[in-house]
Amino acid sequence: MTEQQPLLKVVDLYKHFGGLVAVDDVSIEVYPGEVVGLVGDNGAGKSTLIKMVSGVYHRDSGQIFLEGEEVHFDTPMEARDRGIETIYQDLALCENLDATVNIFLGREPMRQQLGFLNVVDRDHMFTESETVLNQLDIEIPNLRRPMRQMSGGQRQAVAIARAVYWDARLMIMDEPTAALAVAEQRKVLALCRTLRERGVPVIIISHNLQDIFAVADRIVVLRRARKVAELVAKETDTDEVVALMTGSKPGDLL
């Protein structure tokens, strides 16, 4: 795997908020077709690291390479345009709108009415949404229902479908299984594997180590803003990862 060029390469990223160092010279690489689990205790810097990659935060120093090319994202939109899709814990869905609108939000297809009036092409949105949901084996009985009437798993699935539809090259998932019923957690993890099979690498952040071990190929452990270990999932276990997270095992990268 290390023979390949990494899709994402992050070198010595550093970010502080006032006197608090949130991310301290962290480097990671993500290769095509793998799932990387990003773990750490609260405040370890997982979310800050991810937000620098997805364009939400600006880094203080360090470099981000996408397929070997250095990138600077000023806004999340710029990161999305380059294929970095992030699914946040709160999903960022408009609960009052339906699945089709949410999948296309911010990038609505338009058509002309009477030859000069630009209107949103809802039919196109509907058929395309159906297609992508079918591809991912996501079943949503009524696409016209507002999101708030859907279950947590369905919302998560719509958020994933949105990212997939827009040709995600890298998917970042922040706590995708939090607040889901067990059956739905499984479904989301299955979607994660589907993405990997499609060659889309996934960075998954989770507190739930079971989830991480269920899908991740590699595990990166952060503690107090620093990367303390990088492990192959098959060669480690929950105890070791917990020890690294809490600091009872120092980690070989310090």
Per-residue HEC secondary structure of 184-198 comes to HHHHHHHHHHHHHHC
Looking up tokens 């929950």 gives 238
CA separation for the pair 125, 120 (Å, rounded): 9
Kindly give the pairing relationship between strand 226-232 and strand 218-223: antiparallel
Among 12, 95, 123, 237, binds other proteins (CB under 8 A): 95
Among 4, 89, 113, 246, binds other proteins (CB under 8 A): 113
The DSSP line for 167-228 is T-SEEEEESTTTT--HHHHHHHHHHHHHHHHTT--EEEE-S-HHHHHHH-SEEEEEETTEEE
What is the footprint of other proteins within residues 187-206 (CB under 8 A)? 187, 190, 193-194
Q: Report whether 59 contacts 33 (CB < 8 A).
A: no
Among 1, 17, 89, 92, binds other proteins (CB under 8 A): 92
What is the footprint of other proteins within residues 58-77 (CB under 8 A)? 76-77
The stretch near other proteins (CB under 8 A) out of 15-23, 149-157, 213-221, 236-244 is 149-157
With binding defined as CB under 8 A, does residue 138 bind other proteins?
Answer: yes
The stretch near other proteins (CB under 8 A) out of 14-22, 30-38, 116-124, 199-207 is 116-124
Looking at residue 199, its amino acid is: G
Residues of the shown chain interacting with other proteins in the complex, contacts defined by CB under 8 A = 76-77, 80, 88, 90-97, 101, 105-108, 110, 113, 117-120, 137-141, 145, 148-151, 153-154, 157, 184, 186-187, 190, 193-194
